Amino acid sequence: MTSQGTSRATSRTTSQATLHGKVALVTGGSRGIGAATALRLAREGADVAVGYVNGKEAAEDVVRAVEALGRRGVALRADAADASASAEVVDAAAEALGRLDVLVNNAGVGVLGPLETLSLEDVDRVLDINVRGVFLTSRAASAWLPEGGRIITIGSCMAQRVPGPGGTLYAMSKAALAGLTKALARELGGRGITANLVLPGPIDTDMNPADGPHAEGQAAMTALGRYGTADEVASMVAYLAGATYVTGAEFSVDGGHAA
């Protein structure tokens, strides 16, 4: 093998071992972006705890896929709308897998509609899951994360650009994550822990399929003219899980939605 070929092989090996020996928790990990992220982190060498609320069978399928990659996995039920559960799932993951190095805050909910149609229950539910749950899970994780620990939160492109009416509540909840992420970066940076925010655009999942009734309009709002894939978001999460000098930052994976 040439020296160039040896260098490339070494680079691939190093990349594959980026998270070897690490443990990650992915909330909302039973499907879509969460499931893709869990599998990508496992491919990078991490053992993975998969949080879910309703999709037990789907979460167990993800765990089996993690185990098929030679990593340990566990499925843990936790309702992000429940303040106690938001913290308890972190402890359960760390206890089940022996430690915690990476937290991916992926669990979230979207409630869209005109202001006058949004009930107080809608407001409470969205803020409880999208904001309070992320805060409480991150706070609980901070007690476990060692130097080099990572907090990666999945936000939304609508925190940067709201292209039309009906997204007030959802956009507000996702915009709050920018302040939370920057504050976590400052508060935990002295311990060598990073915190970053990923902002997906329209992503092809069962919640927002690329062949759905509103897909054409959403795709047209991007510079690339298409939906993204869950794997494309997961690749950014994997990068941030290994990055050592990136914190308090926002990363758009939105096909140019905010361009």
Q: Show which residues are catalytic.
A: 170
Strand ranges (E), 107-169: 150-154
Strand partners, 252: 199
**Phi, psi dihedrals of residue 144, rounded to the nearest 5°:** -105, -30
- Tallying the residues shown for the chain, one arrives at 259
CA–CA–CA angle 24, 154, 19 (5° rounding) = 25
In one letter, which amino acid is 257?
Answer: H
Report the C-alpha gap between 181 and 251 in whole angstroms. 12
Cα dihedral across residues 195, 62, 34, 126: positive or negative: negative
CB atoms within 10 A of CB 93: 29
CB atoms within 10 A of CB 95: 13
Q: Give every CB contact of residue 180 below 8 A, 6+ residues apart in sequence.
A: 131, 134, 135, 138, 153
CA–CA–CA angle 26, 87, 202 (5° rounding) = 35
Q: Rounded to the nearest 10 degrees, what angle do helices 56-68 and 32-43 cross at? A: 20
- Please name which of 34, 160, 202, 206 lies closest in space to residue 108, comparing C-alpha atoms: 34
